Amino acid sequence: MQKQDKLKDNDIILEIKDLHTYFYNNSKNPVKAVEGINLTLYKKEVLGIVGESGCGKSLTARSILKILPTGAKIAQGSIFFNGEDILTLKQKRLNEIRGKMISMIFQEPSSYLNPVLTVGFQVSETYTAHFPNDKKNALKKTIQIFKEVGIPDPSKRIKNYPHELSGGQKQRVMTAMALINNPDIIIADEPTTSLDVTVQAQIIKLFKDLLKNHSSSIIFITHDLPLVSEIADRIMVMYAGMNVEEAPTKELISKPLHPYTKSLLESIPPITEKWQKLKTIEGQVPDPSEKPAGCPFHPRCIYAEKDCSTKKPYMIEVEKGHYTSCYHYDKI
């Protein structure tokens, strides 16, 4: 993993500037699901994106590759990958980038693996789609990548259909599919959500092992703050379609500067034999179509004052590399 003091501007591989992704329906006003996201990813870095369901994490990830759900459109912003603005590229160039230079691991493998095709064929097809002149090596590379992601007896497993594999094995297949072209960036969208705790630990170990053997940068999306803290160099916290805090992992965990981040940390069960009542965050995440004025977190915030309900805060750098969008971070 990266050391934060060594990060330099010329090491930036992906940069998102003022991204707004909205859902357009029959009403006059669009639903502002992602609103003003800024994100920087460095080479060989693991960036964690954390937040509750519906906060815009996955939509931000999908915006990077322009694989948006029905009704969603990017309203404004820029997404630079190695200096190219993805949002201005022609379809041919975008197709070259998808799966080869930037790949994505989705949270529900069963939804993305074709049930009537063997998993080996599906992974090798990802390779031949970008290297059509190297079809004779596709099977060999598939067996090799299956072995690398910890799938036992890969020569046999490549002949299996998705329904013949466990949830953890299917997630490893998805990881193999993402890795087979040795991409510059891997976006892992909630890769452990549908797995039990034991398998989650195995997948995290898999990612740690992969970091030793691959030079890819990783965006790891999850709602599980303790989980992502095991692997991420930096963490970006999202709330109601906005990024509210960003810092190196150890700094964010030990010294949160946004009340939402602090609340997330306080709601983590302590490792102790003594029974304790967990702290909760009062209220609910606002509906994207009915966001409150000012800071979107202010209706649930114990530190909120009058200005919080009228003026929308923007990210400021409080300490080197530590950003927050809270007017009253000094109280936390």
Inside any domain, residue 158: no
Q: What is the mean pLDDT of residues 51-73?
A: 94
Does residue 49 register a pLDDT over 90? yes
pTM of the model: 0.92
Inside any domain, residue 200: yes
Closest listed residue to residue 296, CA positions, set 26, 65, 33? 33
Domain of residue 60, residue span: 4-101+183-248
Inside any domain, residue 267: no
Q: Round to whole Å and give the CA distance between 285 and 310.
A: 18
Both tokens assigned to 115: 């049930």
Answer whether 102's CB lies under 8 Å from 185's CB.
yes
Q: Round to whole Å and give the CA distance between 25 and 113.
A: 30
- For the beta carbon of residue 116, count every other beta carbon within 10 angstroms: 6
Inside any domain, residue 261: no
Segment 206-232, tens digit of pLDDT: 888 888 888 899 999 999 898 899 999
pLDDT for the residue numbered 272: 63
Closest listed residue to residue 243, CA positions, set 53, 37, 44? 37
Q: 64-68, 125-129, 285-289, 299-303 — which is least confidently predicted?
A: 285-289
Q: What is the mean pLDDT of residues 151-160?
A: 94
Answer whether 331's CB lies under 8 Å from 323's CB.
no
Inside any domain, residue 273: no
Helix (H) or strand (E) holding 24: none
**280 pLDDT tier (thresholds 50, 70, 90):** confident
Q: Round to whole Å and give the CA distance between 142 and 268.
A: 39
Bridge partners of 50, per DSSP, are: 222, 237
pLDDT for the residue numbered 8: 64
Inside any domain, residue 196: yes
Both tokens assigned to 74: 């990017």
Does residue 2 register a pLDDT over 90? no
Segment 176-213, tens digit of pLDDT: 999 999 999 999 999 887 778 888 888 888 888 888 88
Give the CATH number, domain containing residue 68. Answer: 3.40.50.300
Segment 263-277, tens digit of pLDDT: 999 888 776 656 667
Burial of residue 28, with CB atoms counted within 10 A of its CB: 0-12 exposed, 13-18 middle, 19 or more buried: exposed
Inside any domain, residue 114: no
Please provide the average confidence, as pLDDT, over all residues in the chain.
91
Answer whether 5's CB lies under 8 Å from 42's CB.
no
pLDDT for the residue numbered 310: 93
Inside any domain, residue 79: yes
* CB-based contacts of 317, cutoff 8 Å, min separation 6: 323
Provide the number of structural domains found in the chain. 1
Q: What is the mean pLDDT of residues 1-17?
A: 74
Does residue 152 register a pLDDT over 70? yes
